[in-house]
């Protein structure tokens, strides 16, 4: 029972992790992207579109090639999410729109596009494609060997991809020149600019890469969590992912632990099989914990745990 619970927790945690890792990378460039829930929706939309295109091409879903069944929806997912990120960045960075307004617009847009598109083109057969996504990457016998392998090693590849991305993001941010420059762009774009860093380039690339990673969360939600069935609940997960960014103090490493904690509470009502008010209250815990973290962090007032200093502020070099 406990093993099933923790496995379920890991399944949910990966969705949070994709969303928040992407948002952390975006926010490190100084872009407060409130459009993350929408971008996750766009990622899911891309996955539906890619899946349907592939299904149309092969006519009979049962003949689907496992590799193509993964790669085509994934590419479309990255394309849709990346383009939405590009749109956000164009509005905010090139046209100097307000970041909050733009982000919220994108969230409403994505949350509307996903059901609309997937209803329009139909999604029969997606569940067949989705089976490729949660194929275990380790042999079955190994996965079932003991409780440890059952909990941690019996997942599909997206689970490990999410963790790898988070770790790589952490290493890049902390250890490399690119990471240093990206952090400088988010902290003080004028400084970065005067040091010869191309601020716009960093903002664009970070936002697009961040959006692609968040978008993968949409793919994961559609193909793994719901086995290809259309559920339109991504947006609320997306907001939790945004909250998780604050919880993890803009650190992808803490985001791994944080997403686990969030998922732990999220799954708890199912585990203790409570229902009604109690279940509702328990699922509120992640939001509550985020508020507590904000309070604790502001009490300590340590500079390193603060959000990027110019988060949400647009940069224009010739501003006087």
Partner 1 sequence: MENNTNSNIEKAIELIGITKTFGNVVANKNINLDVYKGEILSILGENGSGKTTAMNVLSGIYAPDEGKIIVNGNEVLIKSPKDSLKLGIGMVHQHFKLVDVFTAVENVVLGFSKDDTSTLSHKNSRKFSLKEAAKEITLMCKKYGFELDPYKKVYNMSVSEKQTLEIVKTLFRGVDVLILDEPTAVLTPQEIKKLFDVVRNMKKDGKSIIIITHKLNEVMEISDRVAIFRKGEHVATVETKKTNEKQLADMMVGEKINLEIKRSEPNNPQDRLFVNNIFVKNNDGQMAIKGVSFTARSGEILGIAGISGSGQKELLEAIQGLRPYETGEVTFQNPKENKPVTFYHKTLKRVKFLASMNQFHYKDGTPVSFKGMKDKEIKELVNEGKVLFNKDEIVDLKGLNPKEIRGLGIRLSFVPEDRLGMGLVGNMSIIDNMMLRSYRHGKGGFVDRDRPKKLTKRIIKELDVSTPSAETQVSKLSGGNIQKVLVGREIALIPKVFMAAYPVRGLDINSSYLIYKLLDKQKQQGIAVIYVGEDLDVLIDLCDRILVLCDGHVTGIVDARHTTKDEIGLLMTKHEEVQ
CB of 320 to partner 1, least distance (A): 6
Whether the Cβ atoms of residue 54 and residue 129 lie closer than 8 Å to each other: yes
Cβ nearer to partner 1, comparing 60 with 304? 304
Among 121, 306, 312, 314, binds partner 1 (CB under 8 A): 306
Cβ nearer to partner 1, comparing 124 with 198? 198
Segment interacting with partner 1, rule: CB under 8 A, options 15-23, 209-217, 240-248, 312-320: 312-320
- Contact between 301 and partner 1 by CB under 8 A: the answer reads yes
Cβ nearer to partner 1, comparing 96 with 146? 96
CB of 214 to partner 1, least distance (A): 25
- Residues 200-228, buried b or exposed e (16+ Cβ, 10 A)? bebbbbbbbbbbbbbbbbbbbbbbbbbeb
Residues 172-231 that bind partner 1 (CB under 8 A): 175-177, 180-181, 183-184, 187-188, 190-198
Segment interacting with partner 1, rule: CB under 8 A, options 120-128, 164-172, 240-248, 298-306: 298-306
Question: How many positions of this chain bind partner 1 (CB under 8 A)?
Answer: 26
> To which residue do tokens 């999220």 refer?
266
Tell me the two tokens of residue 159. Answer: 């689970």
Burial classification of residue 186, based on how many CB atoms lie within 10 Å of its CB (0-12 exposed, 13-18 middle, 19 or more buried): buried
Helices (H), the chain: 2-28, 36-58, 66-89, 99-121, 126-133, 140-143, 147-152, 157-175, 177-187, 189-194, 199-220, 234-247, 252-271, 277-300
State the distance between the two ends of the chain, measured CA to CA, in whole angstroms.
62
Whether the Cβ atoms of residue 15 and residue 217 lie closer than 8 Å to each other: yes
CB of 309 to partner 1, least distance (A): 7
- Contact between 171 and partner 1 by CB under 8 A: the answer reads no
Cβ nearer to partner 1, comparing 56 with 175? 175
Among 95, 278, 284, 309, binds partner 1 (CB under 8 A): 309
Q: Which residues bind partner 1 (CB under 8 A)?
A: 175-177, 180-181, 183-184, 187-188, 190-198, 301, 303-304, 306, 309, 317-318, 320
């Amino acid at each position: 029972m406990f093993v099933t619970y923790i496995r379920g927790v890991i399944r949910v945690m990966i969705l949070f992790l994709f969303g928040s890792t992407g948002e952390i990378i975006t926010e490190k460039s100084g872009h407060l992207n409130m459009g993350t829930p929408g971008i996750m929706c766009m990622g899911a939309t891309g996955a539906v579109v890619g899946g349907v295109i592939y299904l149309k091409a092969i006519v009979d879903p049962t003949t689907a090639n496992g590799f193509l069944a993964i790669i085509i929806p994934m590419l479309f997912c990255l394309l849709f999410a990346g383009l939405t990120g590009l749109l956000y960045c164009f509005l905010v960075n090139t046209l100097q729109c307000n970041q909050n307004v733009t982000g919220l617009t994108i969230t409403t847009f994505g949350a509307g596009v996903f059901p609309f598109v997937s209803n329009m083109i139909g999604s029969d057969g997606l569940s067949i494609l989705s089976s490729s996504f949660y194929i275990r990457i380790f042999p079955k016998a190994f996965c079932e060997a003991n409780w440890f392998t059952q909990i941690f090693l019996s997942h599909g590849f997206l689970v490990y991809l999410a963790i790898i991305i988070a770790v790589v993001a952490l290493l890049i941010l902390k250890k490399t020149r690119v990471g240093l420059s990206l952090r400088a762009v988010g902290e003080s774009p004028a400084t970065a600019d005067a040091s010869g860093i191309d601020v716009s380039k960093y903002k664009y690339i970070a936002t697009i890469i961040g959006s692609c990673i968040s978008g993968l969360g949409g793919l994961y939600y559609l193909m793994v969590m719901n086995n290809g069935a259309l559920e339109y609940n991504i947006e609320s997960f997306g907001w939790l992912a945004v909250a998780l960014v604050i919880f993890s103090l803009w650190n992808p490493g803490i985001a791994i632990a944080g997403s686990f904690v969030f998922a732990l509470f999220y799954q708890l009502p199912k585990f203790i099989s409570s229902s009604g008010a109690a279940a509702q209250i328990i699922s509120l815990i992640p939001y509550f914990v985020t508020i507590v973290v904000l309070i604790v962090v502001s009490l300590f007032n340590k500079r390193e745990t603060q959000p990027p200093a110019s988060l949400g502020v647009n940069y224009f070099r010739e501003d006087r």
